[in-house]
Amino acid sequence: MATVTDVRNAPKKAALPQIRQTQLFIGGQWIPAKSGKTFETCNPATEEVIAQVAEGDAADVDAAVRAAREAFDSGPWPRMNARERGRLIHKLCDLIEGEIDELAALESLDNGKPVSDARLGDIPLALDALRYYAGWADKIHGQTIPVSGNFFTYTRREAVGVAGQIIPWNFPILMTAWKWGPALATGCTVVMKPAEQTPLTCLRLARLAQKAGIPDGVINVVPGFGPTAGAAIVKHPGVDKVAFTGSGETAQIIMRQAADSLKRLTFELGGKSPNIVFADADLAAAAAGAHVGIYLNQGQCCCAGSRLFVEDSIHDAFVDTIVAMSRSRKVGDPFDPATEQGPQVDQAQFDKIMGYIAQGKQEGATCATGGKRVGTKGFFIEPTVFTNVKDEMAIAREEIFGPVLSVLKFSDTDELVRRANATNFGLAAAVWTRDIARAHDVARRLRAGTVWVNCYDVFDAAAPFGGYKRSGFGRELGERGLDGYLETKTVTVSLDPPGR
């Protein structure tokens, strides 16, 4: 098996993957859309069409929900020995490991991320989540509860039912795993809509789930667009719960549309996460953390450290370091294993980011490096650092979702905490300091679902992840990640002997 170093040292480009699955996956069948329609998915590095994919809409979603409903209401999945469900999830992981290079290449081709990122980051993290939840399958249990009177009361934790899962394009494999892991472990069945920009790897994973022996109808995948296929999942009365990752604007639409059927909702939305560097920090580590924190995945991360707060006494020297690091970041062909940054996912995201760069300049921030397109083909953008950023500027308030860092200066800790929290978002934050009391104090005062201390973007399947405020609600990963897929049933039994 290839190791980490094998891939990093590989002199040659990764091989192009085969595109095998482009149809809808419903009830264990690979089928075209009822409308016969297809849509194009593109390679963002070349802007070339790589495949035509079946375009699902309400009619296909209805078929998928029926299949998922039947698999839940009368199929083997929620009824089988829970340990067996765990075993099948592990089997899926074994099959993913067997095709890891091909999957990494497919992810890179459809999304534009460097193939080495997919191979060394996304897929190992996806496996971590699936295997972690495979382990939970037979460890989900209720409580016995002492109640007044002659009664025995206990709770059962039961699968919520059919889960509608709508995911974005920034981490297609990883988001699929984060959604399928807890759903499968709890015995739910799934109707998933991958993002229209990146449907290919989710379909590939569905094929592997089928090969692993996960019963027909447990996982259904309907590629298509948000207002058609996505909205149909949200409105369908046969769907018990919707798990969504994406933009706040779309979450608001989903919440309104889910009101009619009072669906359970979990949302993982955007962020404008503060990354805070105190003067006493290990500055080399902090600079590396600031670099990864903003540029990972071309800046297309919900938890990107896009507001870099730097203590004034070290500000100028620290900025020099991160500007130099930004200039040496290797932007280019995602299939070159040495590439660190690929293209943005599509023209719309490219345009949005370039718009923010123009606005940052216009509002008076200093573009210390970057700010331009790279090349003439593909959606590549230079790693970009803005200094002299004021809190009220758009580039300091709004989610850019690109390789654009806003640097802000601070001097006082109380003032810093107030400014860091002065946002509608609350997904993540980081603090860099050698002062242990200050680290814990600031971590406690930040209103965010994740706080990293002297690190950034550290993920583990056991550690819950999710947002405060408009960054969402509910948690993914960890034991808390099961909650969104479980109901609690209370059973109370009279202990009075019969006939008394």
Which range, of 201-209, 228-236, 367-375, 448-456, touches ligand NAI by CB under 6 A? 228-236
Each residue of 171-205: b (16+ CB within 10 Å) or e?
bbbbbbbbbbbbbbbbbbbbbbbbbbbbbbbbbbb
Counting residues that bind ligand NAI (by CB under 6 A) gives: 28
Q: Using CB under 6 A, which of the segments 94-102, 104-112, 241-249, 449-457 binds ligand NAI? A: 241-249
CA atoms within 13 A on the CB side of 68: 33
Considering the complex, what minimum distance in angstroms separates the CB of residue 458 from ligand NAI?
17
Contact with ligand NAI (CB under 6 A): which of 352, 445, 447, 480? 352
**Closer residue to ligand NAI (CB): 168 or 334:** 168
Residue listed under structure tokens 């905490």: 417
Question: Among residues 188, 202, 302, 303, which one is catalytic?
Answer: 302
Catalytic site includes residue 268: yes
Of 166, 183, 192, 292, the one binding ligand NAI (CB under 6 A) is 166
By C-beta, is 192 or 420 nearer to ligand NAI?
Answer: 192
Q: Is 231 in the site for ligand NAI (CB under 6 A)?
A: yes
| In contact, 137 and 82? CB cutoff 8 Å | yes
Please report, as residue ranges, which positions from 258 to 277 form the binding site for ligand NAI (by CB under 6 A): 268-270
Identity of residue 262 = L
Q: Does 196 bind ligand NAI (CB under 6 A)?
A: yes
Which one among 109, 192, 254, 407 touches ligand NAI, defined by CB under 6 A?
254
Q: Which of 168, 289, 370, 474 binds ligand NAI (CB under 6 A)?
A: 168
Q: Which residue spans within 246-363 are E strands per DSSP?
A: 264-268, 274-277, 307-311
Burial of residue 149 (CB within 10 Å: 0-12, 13-18, 19+) is exposed
For residue 71, the one-letter residue type is A
Q: Does residue 338 bind ligand NAI (CB under 6 A)?
A: no
Using the contact rule CB under 6 A, the part of the chain among 57-65, 116-124, 149-157, 246-254 near ligand NAI is 246-254
**For ligand NAI, the closer CB: 154 or 225:** 225
Q: Residues 30, 39, 154, 225: which binds ligand NAI (CB under 6 A)?
A: 225
Answer yes or no: are the C-beta atoms of 134 and 473 closer than 8 Å. Answer: no
Which residue sits closest to ligand NAI, CB atoms considered? Answer: 226
Give, as ranges, the residues between 45 and 104 that touch ligand NAI (CB under 6 A). Answer: none
Least distance to ligand NAI, CB of residue 103, Å: 20
Q: Smallest distance from the beta carbon of 254 to ligand NAI, in angstroms?
A: 5
Q: Computed from CA positions of residues 352, 353, 357, 360, in that sequence, does the dihedral angle turn out positive or negative? A: positive
Chain residues 282-311 in contact with ligand NAI, contact rule CB under 6 A: 302
Distance CA 116, CA 246 (A): 24
Residue 278 contacts residue 256 (beta carbons within 8 Å): no
Q: For ligand NAI, what does the binding mask look like between residues 14 and 53, x meaning CB under 6 A?
A: ----------------------------------------
User: No. of H helices and E strands in the chain?
Assistant: 17, 20
Beta carbon nearer to ligand NAI, 40 or 496: 40
In total, the chain counts a number of residues equal to 500
Q: In whole angstroms, what is the distance from residue 55 CA to residue 204 CA?
A: 16
Residues 6+ apart with CB under 8 A from 40: 49, 51, 52, 53
- Give φ, ψ of 299 to 5 degrees: 80, 5
Write out the binding residues for ligand NAI, residues 387-406 only, by CB under 6 A.
Answer: 399, 401
Strands 450-453 and 307-311: what pairing?
unpaired
The nearest distance, CB 242 to ligand NAI, in angstroms, is: 8
Residue 227 or 237: the one with the smaller Cβ distance to ligand NAI is: 227
DSSP character for 122? I
388-422 CB burial, b ≥16 within 10 A, e <16: bbeeebebbebbbbbbbbbbbbbeebeebbebbbe
Sole binder of ligand NAI in the list 41, 176, 344, 349 (CB under 6 A)? 349
Name the one range near ligand NAI by CB under 6 A: 79-87, 97-105, 155-163, 240-248: 240-248
Find the shortest distance in angstroms from Cβ 194 to ligand NAI.
7
**Coil, strand or helix at 226:** helix
Radius of gyration of the chain (CA): 24
Contact with ligand NAI (CB under 6 A): which of 226, 334, 370, 378? 226
State both tokens at 452: 């990293």
> Tokens in use for 443?
């971590």
Nearest CB to ligand NAI, comparing residues 17 and 246: 246
What positions carry a catalytic annotation? 268, 302
Which residues would be at the binding site for ligand NAI (CB under 6 A)? Answer: 166-170, 193, 195-196, 225-227, 230-231, 234, 245-247, 250, 253-254, 268-270, 302, 349, 352, 399, 401
